[in-house]
Amino acid sequence: DGGITQSPKYLFRKEGQNVTLSCEQNLNHDAMYWYRQDPGQGLRLIYYSQIVNDFQKGDIAEGYSVSREKKESFPLTVTSAQKNPTAFYLCASSIGGRDTQYFGPGTRLTVL
């Protein structure tokens, strides 16, 4: 099956620890995105990548880092510098930067 996978679905970490969220797609899409969603709110863009080895900051990049070493993978690291990391994290991909975005199932991160 083609699609976008995110793992794990639920993740718990202690305050002060870095944590990496996985996002993989087998749709052969060039562009990939990370969004954050807080309860009762819309999505906010963290980072996006239009092509391998290139990525740009979104609206709320502070405290996060990404890499895009392979076309199919776009991992997100939530660092200890992120003040409020507890949230629902969504990964998306699109054929090109201007095309329809398709979303993964999300990872719910809770920092204790």
Partner 1 sequence: DAKTTQPTSMDCAEGRAANLPCNHSTISGNEYVYWYRQIHSQGPQYIIHGLKNNETNEMASLIITEDRKSSTLILPHATLRDTAVYYCIVRVKNTGNQFYFGTGTSLTVIP
**Pattern 60-99, binding to partner 1, x per CB under 8 A?**
----------------------------x-x-x-x--xx-
> Residue for token digits 């990525």?
55
As beta bridge partners, residue 35 has 45, 90
Selected range binding partner 1 among 11-19, 56-64, 65-73, 74-82, rule: CB under 8 A = 56-64
Binding-residue total with partner 1 (CB under 8 A): 30
Report the DSSP pairing between strands 107-111 and 10-13.
Answer: parallel
Degrees, nearest 5: CA angle 4-35-96: 60
Distance CA 89, CA 94 (A): 17
Q: Does 108 bind partner 1 (CB under 8 A)?
A: yes
Binding region for partner 1 (CB under 8 A) = 4, 6, 31, 33, 35, 40-45, 48, 50, 56, 58-59, 88, 90, 92, 94, 97-98, 100-106, 108
